[in-house]
Amino acid sequence: MPDHDATQTPDDTAEPELPGDGPAPADGPGSGGDDRPPPTGGGGRSDKMPLWLPKAVVLALTLYAAFLLANWAFHRLTGLLLNILVAFFLALAIEPAVDWMAHRGIRRGLATALVFLGVVVFFGGFLALLGSVLADQVRELVENFPSYVDSVVVWLNDQFGTQLEADKLQDDFLSSEWVQNYLKQSADNVWTVSTTVLGGLFKLLTILLFAFYFAAEGPRLRRTLCSVLPPARQAEVLRAWEIAVTKTGGYLYSRGLMALISGVCHYIVFLILDIPYAPALAVWVGVVSQFVPTVGTYLAGALPMLLAFTVSPWAALWVLVFVIIYQQFENYVLQPKITSKTVDIHPAVAFGSVIAGAALMGAVGALIAIPATATLQGFLGAYVTRYEVDPDAHAPRPRRGRGRTLLRRMRGALRR
C-alpha cells in the first residue's frame, strides 16, 4: 500500500502565485476575446484625423487661390480703374452744367455732348497756342544757333586766350561718336514714341467715354445703386453724391473763373511790355497758376520772364514784380470772395494733397488730388459737428504762491 503520509500534494510543495503570474490571454489585450480598444486615460490621444481638418485645408487653399487671382486681376486692371476714377471726377465736375441745361429743356445726352465739346475746344486751343509758341521758339533757336556758337567762341578766346574756331568745333561735335549714337538711338525709338502717343490717345478717349456716360446717365446710375440699399442707406448715398457733385464742380468752376481773370490781367501787362506771344502766355499763366496750388503762379510766370528777356532785362523785372503783386491780390482779395460760396481749401492742404496724390498714383493722382480733397472736406463739413470756441476761455494757470509753499515744506523736511 502506498504510504499516504509520504505523498506530497501540489498545495504543499508549490510556491504561492504572485499577482500577474499565469498564462497570458490568447485573444489580445482584452479578456474573454473582447476586441474593443482599451479605454484611453487622461493623457492618451486618438490617432484618428479630425473630420473638420480636410475641410479647413480645402477652404484655406481656396481662399489663397482667390486672393492670388484677385491680386493678379487688380494689377492687370489698375490702368483701367485709374481711368474710370478720373472719368468719375470729370463727370462730377461737369454734372452741374449738364443739370442746368437739362432743367431748361435740353435732353441730357445733348447737354453732356455740348459741355464736352466746349471742354475739348478750350483745351485744344490751349495746346495749340502753346504748341505754336514752342515751335516758334525751337525754330528761332535752330536758326540762331550758329551765331550763339560764334558768340561763345569769341568770349572764350577773349577770356582765356584760346584760339578756338567755331566751324571746327561744329564739325567735331557733329562727327563725334556720342552724337551719332544718340541720333541712331533716337531713330530706333521712333516706334516706341509712336506707341506711347497712341496709348495716351486711347486712354484719353477711354476717360472721355466713361465720363460722358457717368454724366449723361447720372440720375439713372444713382437709382441703380440705391435700388439695392434700404431706404435709410439710400438717403445717405444720395446726400454723399450731391456733396461730391457740389464741391467738385464748385471748386473747378471757381478755379476756372480765377484762371480767366488771371489770364486777362497778365495779357494786358504783356501787351504793355510788348512781350511776344502775349495771348498764349496769358492762357498759360491763367491755367497753370490756378490748377497748380501755392507755387503755380510762380511756375507759370517763369516762361513769360524768359521771353521778356528777349525784349529787355527791365521787361523781365517788371513781369516778376507784377506776378508777385498779383499773387498777393489773388490770395487776400480775389480768392476769398470767389471760393466763399463753393469750397475754400487752405493752400498748404491743397499743396500737400497734390504731393500725396502724385506719390500714390503719379500724374493721375496729382490731377484728381484737389477735387478729392474738396469732396472729403465737404463730407467732413456735412457729417462732423463743430462747436464755437469761446475766445475768452483759457486754461487755469497754477498759482505761484502754492508752488513756493510746497517747495519750502520740502526744504524744511530735508533739513530735519
Residue 93 in this model has a pLDDT that exceeds 70: yes
Residue 64 in this model has a pLDDT that exceeds 90: yes
The lowest-confidence range among 2-11, 44-53, 201-210, 254-263 is 2-11
Cβ atoms within 10 Å of 289's Cβ, excluding its own: 26
Cβ atoms within 10 Å of 311's Cβ, excluding its own: 14
pLDDT range class, residue 407, cuts 50, 70, 90: low
What is the structure's pLDDT at 186?
64
* DSSP states of 225-261: HHTTS-HHHHHHHHHHHHHHHHHHHHHHHHHHHHHHH
The CA radius of gyration of the chain, in Å to the nearest whole number, is: 43
User: Tens digits of per-residue pLDDT, 98-122?
Assistant: 888 988 889 988 999 999 898 888 8
Residue 343: Cβ-neighbour burial (10 angstroms; 0-12, 13-18, 19+): buried
Q: Rounded CA gap, 310 and 326, in Å?
A: 23
Mean pLDDT computed over every residue of the chain:
76
Give Cβ neighbours of residue 261 (< 8 Å, ≥ 6 apart): 286, 334
What is the structure's pLDDT at 396?
54
Candidate ranges 58-62, 102-106, 158-162, 165-169; pick with highest mean pLDDT: 58-62
What is the structure's pLDDT at 159?
79
Residue 127, Cα to own-chain centre: how many angstroms? 25
Residue 312 in this model has a pLDDT that exceeds 50: yes
Q: Rounded CA gap, 269 and 271, in Å?
A: 5
Q: Which amino acid is at 205?
A: L
Cell of 345: 481749401
- CA nearest 300: which of 337, 265, 271? 265
Give Dmax (Cα) for the chain: 164
Q: Rounded CA gap, 101 and 118, in Å?
A: 14
Residue 7 in this model has a pLDDT that exceeds 80: no
What is the structure's pLDDT at 385?
67
Residue 2 in this model has a pLDDT that exceeds 60: no
Q: Rounded CA gap, 165 and 159, in Å?
A: 15
Angle at 106 between CA 123 and CA 86, to 5 degrees: 40
User: Tens digits of per-residue pLDDT, 208-218?
Assistant: 899 998 888 88
Tally of CA atoms within 13 A in the half-sphere of 213 that contains its CB: 7
How much is the pTM?
0.60
User: Tens digits of per-residue pLDDT, 337-382?
Assistant: 776 666 667 767 777 887 888 788 776 777 777 777 877 777 776 6
